[in-house]
Chain A
């Protein structure tokens, strides 16, 4: 351990400036709020994961023998709700985004620090509501709340679960608002739009979706509540409503919500790949603008979730065509990342392993998305495990790979400590193997016709072998997710002290101390360099590599 490193660790920073619970619960420091989010989001991840394991355990045998059918309905509903609204949507923006956005643009904090804290409290209020809902009976509609079942038939806790999503939605709107204003107003001198790190572009694009989409799901939840409580005829045909109107409104937000989840992870990959390839990103402008392209096009494709629901076939044709379009900006990113690695000096540190995982899994998820955008194939596989596998390849294979890659990449900055590299690589490998073993069999199951949301498949026992593989994979995946949590916590006390820039990476966040001081920079930095200028950054001595 060098003396410089000790000096770095002992400097006053955002972690040791103040102590006590009050200093955390009333903080307006974006980095501390990021850590508050990190702890609460991790908690909800494990709750959602627990439900997933119970689902997989039930499907280990064809008979419905572990839980009752009603309980199974509640399990997959609560798994979906917790994972979507309380994990996947906020996970990157609220943790790494909160921590990094001001630092990457050379600002002291976000534009509205108190609104930032408020957003965490709203998230927690939503979280308490969903926990209460879970513990007092739960919901059985699926996370999609489809009407008229949700408004006229089920007697589970629809209103409370809707309220939880409604409140958490405002937390997401506040985060988006904060990021947009911060990026517009608080960039350091010289930090032009064409010098912004691609992580910032992705957060900006995500914020646009958060602000423009979230109010629609909020008002849709209010309409569901109005119909359920006051019998206003909006979605229930018996009352003069139209059930497909619900699906239009719901998916207008919930499809772009997938891009709220994946875009920030794409931003992380855009940071990791140039750093571990020691090369400038290939086609910066295309990668940057493809984020905006995904955000905009993502709003034009929602009805591909409704192809078999009874909508007009002419509209279905239009939505099918539009759904294909969104593949273009996604493919631009994949090809540009690959071109960045071409002839690069690649090293296989943990963040890069996750980036590789992301590239493969997101590509499989994206390509199977094209299958589902085709009307004919969609009719065949709608509501089967093929769909389940497809969106898990995007939302778990893509989002979580990116998130874990980012957590390893910036952990030295966040904590001031290095994580154990060997364990990091092992965990990345376990996650990759566990993930594919869990979800690849589901593509085959779905293609062969196994419907999703069935608790008992005793009339088709030939599906058991693939289900056993999937359940076995989920336990491996669970270990892969637990490991980083254990060694991150371990490293906070026993990890090697991290230098300011352990990866010799470009970007302003690496020019501050590890961990950073409360206001990030002692002096406002002046930016006179391009992003990812790796040709002019000396190669590094990688920790664990030498």
Chain B
């Protein structure tokens, strides 16, 4: 793991960014952006999840291939959940 990422200050910085992003999500919910509202909220949520996975869960800098396999498997499973669920929502109006 890179040296800078193990210091307490670094983790506090990541935590602060997460708090700011949470505040942004809440703030954005009060502005009417039309269809952009959910896109913005999901975008911010994805960035937050990435920060947690990369730094708090130490995936960035992990040397083990197994760690990456586990992360990829998790993402693949999420894709299955979303993809097959959307197979229903995306084709419901066809008939």
Contact = CB atoms under 8 A, between A and B. Distances in A.
B74 A184 contact: no
Contact of B94 (A216, A249, A252, A314): A314
A16 B41 CA distance: 58
B95 interface: yes
A312 B84 CA distance: 12
A252 B80 CA distance: 10
A241 B58 CA distance: 36
Contact of A212 (B77, B85, B87, B88): B77
Interface in A503-521: none
A244 B81 CA distance: 14
A315 interface: yes
B88 A299 contact: no
A319 B91 CA distance: 13
Contacts of A245: 85
Nearest to A319: B84
A460 interface: no
Given A184-B66, A212-B73, A248-B85, A299 B91 contact: no
B25 to A, nearest CB: 15
A299 B74 CA distance: 13
A300 interface: yes
A244 B88 contact: yes
Interface string A282-316: 00000000000000000110110000000111110
Interface string A71-98: 0000000000000000000000000000
Given A184-B66, A212-B73, A212-B74, A311 B92 contact: yes
Interface string A239-259: 000001100110010000000
A96 B92 CA distance: 45
B73 A312 contact: no
B73 A314 contact: no
A302 B81 CA distance: 10
B92 to A, nearest CB: 4
A318 interface: yes
A374 B24 CA distance: 48
Given A184-B66, A212-B74, A312 B87 contact: yes
A314 B91 contact: yes
A45 to B, nearest CB: 31
Contact of A303 (B77, B84, B90, B92): B84
Contacts of B94: 312, 314
A299 B77 CA distance: 8
Task: Tell me what chain B mostly uses at the interface: helix, strand, loop, or mixed.
Answer: helix
Interface in B41-92: 66, 73-74, 77, 80-81, 84-85, 87-92
B88 A300 contact: no
Contacts of A299: 77, 80
Contacts of B91: 312, 314-315
B88 A312 contact: yes
Point out which of B73, B74, B92 has the most chain A C-beta atoms below 10 A from its C-beta: B92
A300 B84 contact: yes
Contact of B95 (A184, A313, A319): A313
Contacts of B66: 184
A465 B18 CA distance: 64
Nearest to B93: A312
Nearest to B86: A315
Interface in A211-229: 212, 216
A230 to B, nearest CB: 14
B92 A312 contact: yes
Point out which of A184, A249, A252 has the most chain B C-beta atoms below 10 A from its C-beta: A252
B80 A318 contact: no
Contacts of B95: 312-314
A252 B81 contact: yes
Nearest to A181: B66
A315 B87 contact: yes
A100 B87 CA distance: 41
A314 B89 CA distance: 10
A312 B92 CA distance: 4
Nearest to A253: B81
Contacts of A318: 84, 87
A212 B81 CA distance: 11
Contacts of B90: 312
A312 B91 CA distance: 6
A314 B81 CA distance: 17
A184 B92 CA distance: 43
B74 A311 contact: no
A209 to B, nearest CB: 10
Interface in A170-191: 184
Contacts of A248: 85, 88
Given A312-B95, A313-B95, A303 B80 contact: no
Contacts of A249: 81
Contacts of A184: 66
Nearest to A248: B85
A218 to B, nearest CB: 14
Contacts of A303: 84, 88
B80 to A, nearest CB: 6
A228 B80 CA distance: 28
A311 B80 contact: no
Nearest to B89: A312
Contacts of B88: 244, 248, 303, 311-312, 315
Interface of A: 184, 212, 216, 244-245, 248-249, 252, 299-300, 302-303, 311-315, 318-319
Per CB-CB distance, the 3 closest pairs between chain A and chain B, nearest first, are A315-B88, A314-B91, A312-B91
7 contacts: A248-B88, A249-B81, A300-B84, A312-B89, A314-B94, A315-B88, A315-B92
Interface of B: 66, 73-74, 77, 80-81, 84-85, 87-92, 94-95
Given A248-B85, A319-B84, 6 more contacts: A184-B66, A245-B85, A248-B88, A312-B94, A313-B95, A314-B91
